[in-house]
Structure 1
Amino acid sequence: MMFRAYRRFFVVAWQFLPLFFAFARDRHRFLLFGEGRRVSSEQHRERARTLRSSFLTLGPTFIKLGQLLSTRPDILPPEYIDELTQLQDRVPPAPWPEARDVIESELGPIEEAYDNFDTESISGASLGQVYVAEFDDETVAVKVRRPGIGPLVRTDLRVIKFSVPLLVPFVDEAQAFSLETLADEFARVIRQEMDYEREAAMLREIRGDLDNENVQVPVVVDERSTGRVLTMEYVSGTKITEIDDVDALDVDRTQLAETLERAYFEMIIVHGVFHADPHPGNLAVKPDGTLVLYDFGMSGRVDPFVQDRIVDFYIAIANRDTDAILDALIEMGTLSPEADREVMADVMELAIADARGEEIEQYRVQQIINQIEDTVYEFPLRLPPDLALVLRVATVVEGVCVTLDPEFDFIAVATEFLREEGYLEATAREFVREQLDEFERATRSTLRVPPKLESALDRVERDNLVVQSELNDPNGVLDTLAKRLVLGMGLSVSVLSTVALYIAAELLGALFMIVLSLGIAAVLYHSFRKRRGIRARPQFTRQSMRQREDERIED
């Protein structure tokens, strides 16, 4: 196993080394020191294509890793997210004899397990493949784990775990944290996706939770399901983004988009268990307009605290209360408390307008871009692992809804859903209660202040008042200034020492001091030139999405 992992490591390294050195030189031109390089959007786009190609070359595990990375804008720039969202794990199925061995090792002779079995798979993915069969006079779908995938995944997970510590020194602190959490999260997610018993349990739970007659989740056939084989009800349908075929069904696309959004809001906000892979291949429409959800290998749970914060977030969006939006993001751990609230508030206003399908004047977009470009700051968004899948779901679902109806108002539907579930009314009552509590505290404070004020004035009159102040320096300005003063003093001493040694004809000592002086001077110069953080450009609007899509089609 270890030998296989080492060999695999070199194969992976060969694919990624050119990109690794490019990224490292973006941070420091000479890898460990030097100024950073400014990289254009087109250069990022070209690298992103190379990265996507490498993931496809390396196979199933890395295809899944690329798909997970496409949910992490806290790690990769927008160009990479765009490219990686195109990763499809549609691969040729394994030969039937190998798949048959898996089925029979789990269920016994295939002729006894099923009444009839079509050996041509209807779907091939990186981790499994699906066949159609007959069981108890019913048509069923049989999902079979790809033969030999287990050892390959275990080897690749070893390689990823070994590689992350090598990458950490060459990225920003925030990205280093995200990479480490991503490695752990990915190992957990891919192991869960390979466990068909877990997928069957999630299927049953979500099917039981959903209270929507317009949504169908396949029924699990327990007698023919194991850890490597999952048998379920076969439900046919039209792919949701095949617009012409959907129109041929005479289905109201706006109503279908609303059904989709409501189903995911119910899963995430009400039940806390959700289908986490809503790409168009996993969503279908029946002739009567019923929405069908497939493939529950990627599914997740939402912590009750996060559920409440998500509700707060959408209520704040409904009210266009940018301060409340930022507060909710900070409480979820998604936004740094030190982020520039004014800048982020402008970005949120733009995002809300875009999500509502409103036309955004280009000058306003450029105004916000310029505002951000003029501010050097660390990327303020962080994605805790339990929120990454939620973000991916929201993004993909919104994209599908807009495909069905370009004028779809995602926020209006969310607002109506929250109102029907009673969240908006409950929040209003809580607001009144908070205001009453605030008024009570203010009244008490008014009664306490006069005696305290009189006592303080007495102390001033007796010259017995001592004022203490604490200097808050969150950006480390004084610390940087102190380091520069020390370096400057060190440089002065080393230069004087060099002159003294040269006059005394101690050439070797003088040479050493010259090298030392140059080193101190370089560090001091670098401290003035160093600019932390990245410059961010908001690239989340529908207009920019359409522009990138047009560029992709042209390519």
Structure 2
Amino acid sequence: MKTQNSVPTTKVARASQFMKAGVKVGGNYIKHYSKKLLDPSRSKDELHKDNAADIYDALSELKGSALKMAQMLSMDRGLLPVAYSDKFTMAQYSAPPLSGPLVVKTFKTYFGKSPSQLFDKFEIEAVNAASIGQVHQAWKDGKKLAVKVQYPGVADAVTSDLRIAKPLAVTLLNLNERDIDRYMGEVEAKLLEETDYDLELKRSIEISEACSHIKDLVFPRYYPELSSKRILTMDWLDGMHLKEFLKTNPSQEVRNQIGQALWDFYDYQIHTLRQVHADPHPGNFLMRADGTMGVIDFGCVKVIPEFYYDNYFRLVNPDTIEDDALTEQIFENLEFLTSADSPKDRAFFSGLFKQMIRMLGEPFAVDEFNFGDDRYFNEVYAFAEGLTKVDELKSSKVARGSQDGLYVNRTYYGLYAMLNELKATVVTTKPEWLRSKKVLA
């Protein structure tokens, strides 16, 4: 596997890398339209593929928040052309790793010792590399360990990277600039948290212990004495990432078993702990043939404010949507509607968001849900794609939706997407107050 001997850390060096990607993308457009003059029927598939490769190559060298954004975008089916989603998926666990000397330098910076002095055995070649750090195998006192090493300069570059990447997101991905501005603070705060391995260590221990009773879940033990602000050590867990696991053709029973564990894990975090592992991409779960699943990486945790929780989940109860006055009040609380909206705007956006809530709340409206139903997911993706073409949203002078919704919605999107890939049928457990009284009657 190709390794990197250095990571651009200065603002100038990182900005230059973004500019280089922009120049390549511009050249790809010129090449595409030149060919289209000769062949008007030519599709944009080749253009998307070339752009995706050039952007990914640039971001993978930068590491950090730039690559993390690519990882997040790869989860959002329908937002990007397939070529981008497929390429950016590599950011989840297949980015180019750092070279051995850089890894040793990081250990000496934070421990004053090399990895070989801390562990009985340390594999200098990383077993996988993602957006914020890479993982090495190590052994100590007979135990096999996973050691996560953060890329140098990642934490210091979060704010400047987001500012530099914003124009690329607006122009290339056709994202709404107002929406990006509204959520930038939330994204920046979460990315900064993800670079703080002291915080991740604390949260990893707390949440894994709190969820240890959930059937079929396995959590690693963490080692504070072998961890620091930029290095995190835990037990090595065996298992396969989702796509690799599905290639083994697991039985429907095993798919359902793992799907149920996923649902129960998120149900307990959200409704009991009120904080949630908000990075539900396949790289953070290790699935096994016996239907058990390892859970790793608590770097991205969303603490859900009480006010937001109460309003957001009241909408999940089907009875709420039937009460127009109550629904409108909750939409105001969640900032879907604003005091500046005209009566026409309020009626339009209320109808639009009610449709969205009914659709996304379908799994909560029943006691058991088949996430393998592609009809349901095709409707969801078609609705999401349709939103990008709604003139009222594009021309709206305000961004709609609470900042707290960004990672809560991302969590459910990632959970639903994984359950869909598993083709799992699960019992959709939930608090009693989320059930329709009509159903209970």
Q: Same fold (TM over 0.5)?
A: yes
Q: 1:133 to 1:161 in 2, by over 3 A?
A: same
Q: Is the 8 A contact 2:73 2:79 kept in 1?
A: no
> Paired residue for 1:538?
none
1:69 Cα offset (Å)? 4.9
CA–CA distance in 2 between the matches of 1:218 and 1:320? Answer: 41
Alignment-derived partner of residue 145 in structure 2: 140
The residue number in structure 2 matching 1:114 is 119
Q: CA deviation at 1:319?
A: 7.8
CA distance in 2, matches of 1:301, 1:272: 6
Task: Provide the C-alpha distance between the structure 2 equivalents of 1:388 and 1:105, rounded to a whole number of angstroms.
Answer: 35
Question: Taking structure 1 as reference, are residues 233 and 326 closer, same or farther at Cα in structure 2, changes over 3 Å only?
Answer: farther
After superposition, where does 1:268-287 map in structure 2 within 5 Å?
Answer: 268-287=270-289
Contact 1:116 / 1:134 at 8 angstroms: preserved in 2? yes
Q: Following TM superposition, by how much is the alpha carbon of 1:247 offset from its aligned partner in structure 2, in angstroms?
A: 1.8
Structure 2 residue ranges without an equivalent (≥5): 1-8, 29-42
What is the rounded CA distance, in whole Å, between the counterparts of 1:360 and 1:327 in structure 2? Answer: 32
Matched, 1:378 2:393: yes
Verify the 8 A CA contact 1:70 1:80 in the aligned structure 2: no
Match of 2:413 among 377, 395, 418: 395
Residues in 1 aligned to 2:353 and 2:308: alpha-carbon distance in whole angstroms: 21
Partner of 2:206: 205
User: 1:484-531: per-residue Cα shift (whole Å, max 9, x none)?
Assistant: xxxxxxxxxxxxxxxxxxxxxxxxxxxxxxxxxxxxxxxxxxxxxxxx
Distance in 2, matches of 1:96 and 1:285, equals 29
Q: Secondary structure at the match of 2:125?
A: coil
- Check whether the contact 2:220–2:236 (CA below 8 A) recurs between aligned residues: yes
Matches of 1:91 and 1:374, distance apart in 2:
33
Distance 1:120 1:176, change over 3 A: closer
Deviation at 1:263, TM superposition (A): 0.6
User: Aligned pair 1:131/2:136, yes or no?
Assistant: yes
- Does the residue aligned with 1:106 lie in a helix, a strand or coil? helix
Contact 1:127/1:145, CA 8 A, preserved across alignment: yes
Shift of 1:236: 0.9
Do the aligned partners of residues 246 and 10 (structure 1) sit closer, same or farther apart at CA in structure 2, a change above 3 Å counting? same
The partner residue of 1:92 within 74, 92, 96 is 96
Structure 2: how far apart are the matches of 1:47 and 1:232? 39
Residue 203 (structure 1) shift: 0.3
Which is greater in Rg?
A: 1
Equivalent residue, structure 1, for 2:197? 196
Tell me how far apart the structure 2 counterparts of residues 189 and 288 of structure 1 sit (CA, whole Å). 34
- Partners in 1 of 2:168 and 2:96 — Cα distance? 34
Aligned equivalent of 2:308:
306
TM-score normalized by the length of structure 1: 0.58
Aligned mates of 1:308, 1:81 — CA distance in 2: 36
- 1:243 lines up with 2:243 in the alignment: no
Deviation string for 1:44-77 (max 9, x for gaps)? Answer: 995697267424423313221233456789xxx8
Q: Equivalents in 1 of 2:149, 2:421: separation in Å?
A: 32
Q: Quick one: distance in 2 between partners of 1:48 and 1:344?
A: 34
In the alignment, is the contact (CA less than 8 A) between 1:45 and 1:80 conserved in 2? no
Separation in 2, partners of 1:112, 1:374: 58
Cα distance in 2 for residues equivalent to 1:263 and 1:286: 17
- Cα shift readout 1:288-319 (whole Å, capped 9, x = no counterpart): 42221122222221112222223213223x88
Distance 1:321 1:45, change over 3 A: farther
Unaligned stretches of 5+ in structure 1? 23-41, 429-555
Contact 1:130 1:142 in 2 (8 A): yes
Distance across 1 between alignment mates of 2:167 and 2:300: 27
| 1:264 alignment partner AA | Y
Query: What is the CA distance between 1:167 and its match in structure 2?
Result: 9.5
Tell me which amino acid in the other structure corresponds to 1:262: D
In 1: Cα distance, 2:250 partner to 2:161 partner: 47
Aligned to 1:219: 221
Quick one: percent identity of the two aligned structures? Answer: 19
Q: 3-state DSSP class of the match of 2:124?
A: coil
* 1:417 alignment counterpart: 430
Which AA in structure 1 matches 2:108? E
> Which string of whole-angstrom CA distances, capped at 9 and with x for unpartnered residues, describes residues 78-103 of structure 1?
33699447433222321223212222
Show CA shifts across 1:392-413 (max 9, x none). Answer: 111111111122226x36xxx4
**Offset, 1:118:** 2.7
RMSD: 4.7
Q: Kindly state the Cα deviation for residue 329 of structure 1 after the two structures are TM-superposed.
A: 4.7
Counterpart of 1:128, as a letter, is G
1:18-50 CA deviation, whole Å, 9 max, x = no partner?
979x9xxxxxxxxxxxxxxxxxxx769956972
Which residue in 2 is equivalent to 1:290? 292
Whole-Å separation in 2 of the counterparts to 1:139 and 1:104? 22
Partner AA of 2:351 in structure 1: E
Q: Secondary structure of the residue that 1:385 maps to in structure 2?
A: coil
Aligned residue for 1:342? 351
Paired AA for residue 5 in structure 1 = K
CA distance in 2, matches of 1:276, 1:373: 24
Structure 1 residue aligned with 2:106: 102
Structure whose residues are more often helix by fraction: 1
1:12 to 5, 18, 35: 18
- Alpha-carbon separation, structure 1, partners of 2:329 and 2:430: 22
Contact 1:216 1:290 in 2 (8 A): yes
Whether the 8 Å CA contact 2:48–2:84 is kept in 1: the answer is: no
Aligned residue for 1:99, secondary structure, equals helix
Counterpart contact for 1:269–1:310, Cα < 8 Å: no
Structure 1 residue 244 displacement after superposition: 4.3
The CA deviation at 1:330 is 4.3
Distance 1:228 1:162 in 2: 24
- Asked if the contact 1:216/1:293 (under 8 Å) is kept, the reply is yes
Aligned residue runs from structure 1 range 309-320, under 5 A: 309-316=311-318
Superposed CA deviations along residues 242-273 of structure 1, whole A, max 9, x for unmatched, are 2243627x952113212201211211222122
CA contact (8 A) 1:240 1:246 kept: no
Q: Distance in 2 between matches of 1:335 and 1:83?
A: 33
Deviations 1:134-168 (A, max 9, x none): 2233221111122xx21x66357325436759999
Task: State whether residues 322 and 349 of structure 1, in contact with CA within 8 Å, keep that contact through their aligned partners in structure 2.
Answer: no
Q: Is the 2:128–2:134 contact (alpha carbons within 8 Å) kept by the matching residues of 1?
A: yes
Task: Give the distance between the partners of 2:306 and 2:250, measured in 1 at CA.
Answer: 39
